[in-house]
Structure 1
Amino acid sequence: MEVKSTGAEFGVQHFIDQIKKNRSNLTKTVEKAAKIRPNGGGAPKVIEHIKASNGNTPQFNKVSLLSKIYMKTKDFSGQDLQGADFRGKDLRGAIFDNCDLTDAMFDGARLEGASFQGATLKGASCKGATLKGASCKGAIFDGSDLTNAMFDGALLERSSFKNVIAITATFIEAKMNDADLSGSDFRNSDFTKAKMQRSTLSEATFREADLENADARDANFDGTQLGDGYMRGFNMEGAKIGNVHVFGNFKNAFDGAIMKPDDEDYLKALLDPDYVPGAQPKRKRGEYEFEPKAKRQSDDKMSFGTRQSGDSDSLVQPENSAVTSDHSYSEVEESAGANDKNTSPMM
């Protein structure tokens, strides 16, 4: 009795025959093969054959062919999809765990609830992509373009966003603890209620960013740029703020922010010439320590300097300031009453 081939078997065999014959147009054949039910044994055979093929040609591009097949199942786990084009695709709930997506294109893609755990997206373009609620734990986005991307509620713990462009991106309530955001551009981005504990934000730009009620306890702000944004309720307790750069009108920017009293006084003193802080910066071994409240000057302004060892009254202006600002402040030199009167020693 003759056994007839199933539709799935015929589809796979037909696809393989097309490859062997090196037909010029495989697009329709691939699309038909992609419709084969994954659990029916057809799709795995097609995928295996594509991977075993040598080289890429305009007619036979392995990345393109595999992408079309995986699009049906939305499970790309562990695949090499460098340079894959997913622009504008609906990939909600797709699985990209441990994929190599270097230089892949996701512009305008729908990726809500997608999983990128352990994936590599170096140099990827995700402009305008929606990744709300996506799971990107341990993912690498270094050098990617995330302009206007949405990561609201996403899981980004221990992920790497080094040197990314994320202008006007949103990370509302995102979980970013222990993430590396160093050297990145987050201008006009929204981090409202984001969790950023112990994250590295060094040399990153957060100008005009919304950091309201975000939690950055014990984070590293070394060389970070801040200015003209919203920081009410921003928790910076235990954060390293050495070499932080501030710009624009920041006189009231830190009102409501949560930080150590010495750090708060120090930042406010640099931003407001009329503010008399309770602590004075002192440079020591590349870090900043704080001394007791500085002596108030006769004109009710404080001289920004460090006290010389062994001399409680003399103030010396430091050669370099670890915190820079676009404001300039007048300095007051202590005269110790030398111009008020000149007395002679008693005989």
Structure 2
Amino acid sequence: MKAARRPEVRLPPLEPHDGGPLEPDGDYDGLDIRAADFSGQDGVGARFMDCALTDCVLDGTSLPRARLLDTVLGGVRGVGTDLAEAGLRDVELTDARLGGTQLHGAVLERVHVRGGKIDYLNLRRARLKDVVFESCVLVEPDFGGARLERVEFVDCALKGADFSAAELADVDLRGAMPLEIARGLDRLSGAAISTAQLLDLAPALAAEVGLRVLP
């Protein structure tokens, strides 16, 4: 089991954000963005590099195909944030409160999600490499058709996860408590679980293969 490589984000001295709205294909470099409300704004294709976004509101924010590079997001919150086909590399996300975030088709590399709660995270057909979910709650995350390589769940609640048609390599699920898999039990090849988790999943695994357990 190969361990995930965590991001090492070292931000340079940052300039305060001018408070302006997001712009399509906007270029945001070396900015300290605090308590900004980007609800409903369109930032399709925007690029954030060496930025810190703190306590920002992302309700319905449109950021498909955006790129987040060497960037830290702290305490962001929002429902329906659209990051479809976005690229995240060397990103730290802490204490987020998000719901219905769209990351389908996205590419995540060296991303650390720590703390907070994310409901209905859509990662269908996404590619995750060197991603760590730590001390957070994921409710009904959708990894359908995604490719996960060197992904770790550390002290993380994973509820109702969907791994349908996913491909896993060096995925460490041992730190997921609870570990609840709604679909895709047959796709767990390439993952590691603990003995206790195996016992918890035994009834679902038996049903998956059509095995009857009789007294």
SS at the partner of 2:158?
strand
Structure 2 counterpart of 1:121, one-letter code: L
Q: Looking at secondary structure, tell me which structure has more strand per residue.
A: 2
- Identical columns (%): 23
* Contact kept in structure 2, 1:218 and 1:240, CA below 8 Å: no
Say yes or no: does 1:124 pair with 2:80. no
Aligned twin of 2:189: 236
TM norm structure 1: 0.51
* Contact kept in structure 2, 1:222 and 1:240, CA below 8 Å: yes
Alignment deviations for residues 217-274 of structure 1 (CA, whole Å, 9 cap, x no partner): 2221123122350014423325243553737962546549xxxxxxxxxxx9xxx854
Quickly say closer, same or farther: Cα 1:156–1:73, change in 2 above 3 A.
Answer: closer
Structure 2 counterpart of 1:244, one-letter code: Q
Quickly say closer, same or farther: Cα 1:252–1:97, change in 2 above 3 A.
Answer: farther
Quickly say closer, same or farther: Cα 1:163–1:216, change in 2 above 3 A.
Answer: farther
Structure 1 counterpart of 2:182, one-letter code: G
The structure that has the greater radius of gyration is 1
Question: Equivalent of 1:227, from 180, 185, 200?
Answer: 180
Aligned residues: 199
Higher RCO (Cα < 8 Å, 6 or more apart) = 2
Alignment deviations for residues 152-183 of structure 1 (CA, whole Å, 9 cap, x no partner): 01111110112231211211011111100122
Structure 1: distance between partners of 2:32 and 2:95: 19
Say yes or no: does 1:154 pair with 2:111. no
Aligned-residue CA RMSD in angstroms? 2.8
Shift of residue 104 of structure 1? 1.6
* Contact kept in structure 1, 2:58 and 2:76, CA below 8 Å: yes
SS at the partner of 1:144?
strand
SS at the partner of 1:67?
coil
Aligned twin of 2:117: 165
Alignment deviations for residues 291-320 of structure 1 (CA, whole Å, 9 cap, x no partner): xxxxxxxxxx7xxxxxxxxxxxxxxxxxxx
Q: Looking at secondary structure, tell me which structure has more helix per residue.
A: 1
Moved more, 221-230 or 127-136: 221-230
Structure 2 counterpart of 1:181, one-letter code: F
Aligned twin of 2:38: 86
Structure 2 unaligned regions, length at least 5: 1-14
* Contact kept in structure 2, 1:87 and 1:106, CA below 8 Å: yes
SS at the partner of 2:32?
coil
Say yes or no: does 1:250 pair with 2:204. yes
Structure 2: distance between partners of 1:132 and 1:236: 27
Say yes or no: does 1:204 pair with 2:136. no
